[in-house]
Amino acid sequence: MTMTPLLRLGTRQSPLAMAQAVEARARLCAAHGWDESAVELVPVRASGDKVQDRPLADIGGKALWTKELDGWLHEGRIDAAVHSMKDVETLRPDWLAIGAILPREDVRDVLVGAASVQAIPQGARVGTSAPRRAAQMLHARPDCTVVLFRGNVATRLARLASGEAEVTLLAAAGLARLGETGVGTPLDADQWLPAPAQGAIGIECRADDAQVRDWLAAVDHAPSRHEVMAERALLAALGGTCHSPIAVLTRAEDEGLAMRAALFSADGAERIEGEARFAAGDASGPALLARDLLDRATPGIAALFEGAA
């Protein structure tokens, strides 16, 4: 007998988003002893999936990944929404709550098309739409040029295979969740700092929905939540936007967190870095690091951060 779903879980329609929603459902059902039919997956087509030929920052930023799901949540058409946390705007409406952060996957970027950054052919084209990846690559390899690559993992790999670029960069976590573990070369996260919240899946719900918040709390992974919320606190204090090249690596250390962050100018020519240690849950630690970075920012970097104003 098929039961009426207890929880309607909204998700974007891309293959990776659906894989993340399936993982979220599996964890919820395992935690509560539910049959799979207790959680209904509700696909929603996001604006960000409809427009593929322009940079995200030019057409509305990260809200393009969340606004349809936010609307469905607000209207009560779904009870919770699954997101890649790196795609969720730093400032969220106060009627929303991040009910759970699932155990974070590999935070690294994967280089596809060359064995290392140093081995990329001279003058190669790098396909990416991410300001961080573009600036980081141009900092390491100023001889390269960046061409716009948007779309899901399969689309970007197909564009690479068709010769639109020599190399591209993808998230190791996304590849792993799609079963594409043999693709490319993972880059050392200490040398090539990842994006804020990379590899983390979040589940949002209405802040006043006590029942759903209680269900989600059972799959919340505290170490991953501490890392992700610290990185989001850094973003908030920097005034980072979709145009802002920000790279950050956070690790658990001595019962607290150690954070390394770097900011770049858009062309990668300018780079500053800093680090901080603070207790888990302490948003002032990331804020102090942000202030230090902005105080040392060159004009080319400061122009990309609202917090530098």
Catalytic site positions: 87
Q: How far is CA 260 from the centre of its chain?
A: 17
Q: Which two tokens stand for residue 88?
A: 């969720």
Q: How many CB atoms lie within 10 A of CB 168?
A: 23
Burial grade of 176 (CB within 10 A; 0-12, 13-18, 19 or more):
middle
Give the strand pairing for 80-84 and 201-206: antiparallel
Virtual CA dihedral for 170, 131, 92, 196, nearest 10 degrees? 60
